[in-house]
């Protein structure tokens, strides 16, 4: 037993001391998030025993079947964030509208979150997760509903929880990426992966190849290149179907995660504010890149809180390679016209 264990709360209290102007509100907010993650982790572990598998017979705003654990996770995030007295607005994948916190509980942050990513995998025990991004106005004033749609440049912290063989919380507040493992014996997240960095190039690509014939030509060319021995040693294909799992592996081992547009979803499928921006923030802080194929994900100014986007993120050289192929095809298309 380590007598000098660095817990998540201790870590951020230490970080807070580096900024004399810090009020402690962000630390307080992160404490509420970690509590939500602890409860969700416990619920995930006992879902089969406590009858939390299956759906509730409804669809969410995305048109997806709502799972029982989806409902629990969403309510946990909402209740704990509201009671933290640090948040003004909440944006959830599960709620059609932006939620405004009561005046007597209102803080200065906006939190966008996917309470249970990959929930279609719940019943078959595949790793799932939670994703969040914390936004703040530059002038430090209370945001209104009309000011909720901020680009990734206004993110002050972001992270994800992975409920896998262990529960891990990966967080960045703009000074590197740090991973904390939940130690069930003491009920605390303990620092295990400090200053996580992604390799410049990897050997794995992650994409749902079932949509191969619905992709643009540039994406097919890129994936074909990764499988062609004549173009170099082929990459390994890994795809879980839970963004948290696929991105976490990409950060650890390098490579690229791709979720391009398709004929059925020309604007992409993954949501910008509470899936793509948090992951782009984390990957960028870890030394990687995140793009929609043309511009950085963090530069996109949203027009809708459920806005979707294509995304390519991972090792710097891998993302640049797919961007170059996309640019080449767009140039050829313009010339042919």
pLDDT for res 63: 54
Same-domain status, 290 and 174 = no
Plot region of 48 (φ>0 → left; ψ -120 to 50 → alpha; else → beta): alpha
Same domain, 271 and 170: no
* Residue 167, domain extent: 8-193
- Which DSSP string do the residues of 153-168 spell out, in sequence order? GGEEEEEEEEESSSEE
Asked whether residue 1 is assigned to any structural domain, the reply reads no
Let me know if residue 113 belongs to a domain. yes
- Is residue 114 located within the same domain as residue 29? yes
Give yes or no: residues 164 and 34 share one domain: yes
In a shared domain, residues 111 and 244: no
Find, among 251, 262, 327, 329, the residue nearest to 295 by Cα.
327
Q: Are residues 108 and 73 in the same domain?
A: yes
2 found inside a domain: no
Is 82 among the domain residues?
yes
Give the CATH number, domain containing residue 156.
3.30.540.10
pLDDT of residue 286: 98
* Structural domain total, the chain: 2
Residues 230, 149: one domain?
no
- What pLDDT, in 10s, does the model give residues 44-100? 887 655 555 555 545 555 555 555 788 889 999 999 999 999 999 999 999 999 999
- End residue of a domain, out of 144, 164, 193: 193
Q: Give the global pTM.
A: 0.92
| Segment among 8-17, 141-150, 202-211 with least mean pLDDT | 8-17
Distances (CA, A) of 40 to 32, 37, 72: 13, 5, 8
Are 40 and 144 members of one domain?
Answer: yes
pLDDT per residue as tens digits for the range 163-212: 988 999 999 999 999 999 999 889 999 999 999 999 999 999 999 999 99
């Amino acid at each position: 037993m380590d007598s000098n264990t660095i817990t998540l709360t201790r870590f951020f209290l230490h970080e807070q001391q580096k900024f004399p102007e810090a009020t402690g509100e962000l630390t307080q907010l992160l404490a509420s998030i970690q509590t939500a993650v602890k409860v969700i982790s416990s619920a995930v572990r006992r879902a089969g025993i406590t009858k939390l598998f299956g759906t509730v017979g409804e669809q969410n705003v995305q048109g997806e079947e709502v799972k029982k654990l989806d409902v629990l996770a969403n309510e946990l995030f909402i209740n704990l964030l509201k009671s933290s007295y640090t948040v003004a607005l909440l944006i959830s994948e599960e709620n059609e509208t932006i939620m405004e916190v009561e005046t007597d509980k209102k803080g200065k942050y906006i939190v966008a979150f996917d309470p249970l990513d990959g929930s279609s995998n719940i019943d078959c025990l595949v790793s799932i997760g939670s994703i969040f991004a914390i936004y703040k106005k530059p002038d430090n004033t209370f945001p209104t509903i009309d000011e909720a749609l901020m680009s990734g440049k206004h993110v002050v912290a972001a992270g994800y929880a992975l409920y896998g063989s262990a529960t891990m919380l990966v967080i960045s507040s703009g000074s590197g990426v740090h991973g904390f493992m939940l130690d069930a014996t003491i009920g605390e997240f303990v620092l295990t992966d400090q200053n996580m960095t992604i390799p410049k190039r990897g050997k794995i690509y992650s994409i749902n190849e079932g949509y191969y014939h619905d992709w643009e030509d540039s994406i097919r060319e890129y994936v074909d290149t990764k499988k062609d021995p004549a173009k170099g040693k082929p990459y390994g294909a890994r795809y879980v179907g839970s963004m948290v799992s696929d991105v976490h592996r990409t950060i650890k081992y390098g490579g690229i995660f791709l979720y391009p547009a398709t004929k059925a979803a020309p604007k992409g499928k993954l949501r910008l504010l509470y899936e793509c921006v948090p992951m782009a923030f984390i990957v960028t802080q870890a030394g990687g890149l995140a793009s929609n194929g043309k511009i950085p994900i963090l530069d996109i100014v949203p027009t809708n809180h459920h806005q979707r986007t294509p995304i390519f993120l991972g090792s710097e050289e891998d993302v640049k390679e797919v961007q170059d192929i996309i640019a080449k095809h767009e140039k050829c298309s313009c010339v042919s016209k």
